[in-house]
Amino acid sequence: QGVPEDNKTAVKWYTLAAKQGHASAQYLLGGMYDNGQGVSQNDKTAVKWYALAAEQGLANAQYLLGGMYESGAGVPQDNKTAVKWYTLAAKQGHASAQYNLGFIYDNGQGVPEDNKTAVKWYTLAAEQGHANAQYNLGWMYRKGKGVPQDYKTAVKWFRLAAEHGNAESQYNLGFMYYEGQGVIEDNVYAHMWWNIAASSGKNKSASKNRDIVAEIMTPAQIAEAQKLARECVRKKFKGC
């Protein structure tokens, strides 16, 4: 505390500790090379230090090493090796590794497509509050992929992700209210969620759908939906 951040000095001390086999120092040093902090950016050197820390069982290093193999940064691209390291991190409870594994099994990247296994990993990450995992899990329940179709459970996960500001979940909640899937059909709430999703600028279909549902709403209903949307944004999407 009170010491100005000096990346070059940090690299010096991390290197001394890393060479003595200190796993956290190896992981932190890998991060310095990965991000070009205090040293020239170097993916190969980042991989070297991440690997040494990962082999000692450090979950963050295993996760980042998996990412290097998945993207082909500093190593030849290799989905199978990415899955190996993500799995080791995920089994230690690393939420982002669990999400990435879910996505890989969902899409069959380097492994056979397996919706049930995707749901397993999405669920573990979602339960830790990972917004993208919550959204993807909601989608699996909505479509019945790897689980029996269950609209109420889909709404539960979409709502949790929406509370994190996840625009795709906000958009899907609009659909659930519009179609009456897992909730009582309600155009006011459909309009509200589509309006909120549109305001993020991340979903171009949201404003189109909002305007379509507005055509079958009364002016009073539209005003109520707009009021609810403003209140929801003010509450940071909690309890909407």
Which tens digits make up the pLDDT trace of 109-138? 989 999 999 999 999 999 999 999 999 999
Q: What value does the mean pLDDT take over residues 99-108?
A: 97
Find the range with the poorest average confidence among 5-14, 21-30, 94-103, 210-219.
5-14
- Band of residue 203 on the pLDDT scale cut at 50, 70, 90: confident
- Band of residue 201 on the pLDDT scale cut at 50, 70, 90: confident
Alpha-carbon distance of 104 to 119, in angstroms, equals 11
Evaluate if residue 51 carries a pLDDT over 70. Answer: yes
Alpha-carbon distance of 68 to 45, in angstroms, equals 11
Q: Quote the crossing angle between the two packed helices 219-234 and 187-199, to the nearest 10°.
A: 50
Nearest one of 108, 88, 107, 109 to 97, comparing CA atoms: 88
pLDDT of residue 110: 83
Evaluate if residue 83 carries a pLDDT over 60. Answer: yes
- Band of residue 202 on the pLDDT scale cut at 50, 70, 90: confident
The predicted model scores a pTM of 0.92
CB count within 10 Å of CB 114 equals 14
- Mean residue pLDDT of the chain comes to 96
Evaluate if residue 4 carries a pLDDT over 70. Answer: no
pLDDT of residue 3: 45
Alpha-carbon distance of 30 to 53, in angstroms, equals 9
pLDDT of residue 57: 97
Alpha-carbon distance of 57 to 18, in angstroms, equals 15
Q: For 177-200, how does the pLDDT look when each residue is reduced to its tens digit (9 = 90+)?
A: 999 999 999 999 999 999 999 998
pLDDT of residue 1: 46
Evaluate if residue 2 carries a pLDDT over 50. Answer: no
Evaluate if residue 50 carries a pLDDT over 80. Answer: yes
Q: What value does the mean pLDDT take over residues 88-106?
A: 98
